[in-house]
Every structure is written in structure tokens, then in C-alpha cells.
Amino acid sequence: MDMDMSIAALSIGLNQNEVQQQLGVSVLKMQMNAAEQGVEAILPQVSGNLDPDIGQCLDVSA
């Protein structure tokens, strides 16, 4: 009987770990989608204000 209980407990533990891993992956996907949407919203505003000549010449004399 102890062997059956330990196999059942192991099975439950493995299933719980799998559910936790799936939840973690889902949360990460949601965060990545939110970050992507944020970048897509900001990028058009920033891209129009960039000066193409900035960074072409650097004066390093002190």
C-alpha cells in the first residue's frame, strides 16, 4: 500500500510542476506581448524625431 501511495504522490507532484511551468510560460508570453505592444506604440513617435546627422561626428578633445 505504501508503494501505491508514493506513486500517486509522485504523479500528483509531477502534474503540479507541469501546471506551474505552463502558468509561468503563459505569464511570460503575456509580458512579452505587452512589451511588444508598448514598443510598437512608442516607435512611430520616436522615429519621426530622429536626426540622421546625430552621431556622425564625435569631438573627444577635453
Model pLDDT, residue 44 = 79
Give dist(CA 47, CA 28) in Å, integer.
28
Model pLDDT, residue 28 = 97
pLDDT band at 38 (very low <50, low <70, confident <90, very high): very high
Q: What is the mean pLDDT of residues 37-60?
A: 77
Q: Which long-range contacts (CB under 8 A, 24 or more apart) does 50-57 make?
A: none
Q: What is the mean pLDDT of the chain?
A: 85
pLDDT band at 62 (very low <50, low <70, confident <90, very high): low
Q: What is the mean pLDDT of residues 10-32?
A: 96
Residue 47 pLDDT > 70: no
